[in-house]
């Protein structure tokens, strides 16, 4: 069971630009295991568009998804910087400090910051 959850990538975000993101908690029904993942894309006009894409993918793998909130990510791959900020009107503000810790696992050589700024 652990392998299936391990197969889910911690982070899937666009390589460049500023876009909406959500923090999603995956949980296997009846099991204690859970983990949080970050998903973000410019293709999503609203935060729920991201969730509506992630949720069925994770359900197929046997996970329940819960959106813990959202915000925005500014990804500058040239300067290796990521800034996490803002909030989701629908889901509320994600805990950006948690998001940053997850991003650091993947973007190990990046400077990653967060703030509660709206812009």
**What is the DSSP secondary-structure string of 80-115?**
TEEEEE--BTTTBB--HHHHHHHHHHH-TTSEEEE-
Please identify every residue annotated as catalytic.
47
Residues 65, 35: Cα–Cα separation, whole Å: 10
Q: For the CA atoms of the chain, what is the radius of gyration?
A: 14
* Cβ partners under 8 Å of residue 35, min gap 6: 5, 8, 10, 25, 26
> Is 20 annotated in some ligand binding site?
yes
Binding region = 20
Binding region for substrate = 20
């Amino acid at each position: 069971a652990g392998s299936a959850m391990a197969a889910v990538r911690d982070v899937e975000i666009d390589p460049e630009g500023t876009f909406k993101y959500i923090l999603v908690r995956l949980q296997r029904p009846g099991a204690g295991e859970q983990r949080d993942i970050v998903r973000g894309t410019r293709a999503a006009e609203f935060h729920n568009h991201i969730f509506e894409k992630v949720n069925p993918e994770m359900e197929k793998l046997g996970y329940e998804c819960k959106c813990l909130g959202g915000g925005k990510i500014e990804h500058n791959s040239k300067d290796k910087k990521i800034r996490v900020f803002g909030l989701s009107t629908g889901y509320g503000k994600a805990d950006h400090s948690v998001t940053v810790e997850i991003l650091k696992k993947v973007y190990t050589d990046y400077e990653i910051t967060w703030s509660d700024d709206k812009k």
